[in-house]
Structure 1
Amino acid sequence: MSQDTNYDTFAEAYNAENETSLLNAYYERPAMLKLAGQVQGKTILDVGCGGGVLSEELLRRGATVHGFDASQAMLDIARRRLGAQAQLKCADLSEPLPYAENSFDDACASLVLHYLQDWSAPLAELRRVLKPGGRLLISVNHPFLYPLTHQGVQYFKTTKYTDELEFDGQQGSLTYWHRPLHAMSDAFARAGFSIELISEPPYSKEAPNELVPENLKDRDAFVSFIFFVLR
Structure 2
Amino acid sequence: MAAGLEFARDGEVATLTFARPEKKNAISHDMWAAIPDIVADVEGDPGLKVLVLTGAGPDFSAGADISEFGSLRSTADGAAAYDRVVEGAVTALAGMTKPTVAKIRGNCIGGGCQISVACDFRFADATARFGITPAKLGIVYDFRSTRQLVSLIGPAHARYFLLSGQLVDAARAREIGLLNDVFTDLDAGVSDFAATLCSRSQTSVRGMNRIIGKILDGQSESDSEVEDIRSAAIHGEDYAEGVAAFLDRRPPKFTAS
The alignment's TM-score, normalised by the length of structure 1, stands at: 0.27
Which of the pair has the greater relative contact order for Cα pairs under 8 Å at 6+ separation? 1
Larger radius of gyration: 2
As a proportion of its length, which structure holds more helix?
2
The alignment's TM-score, normalised by the length of structure 2, stands at: 0.25
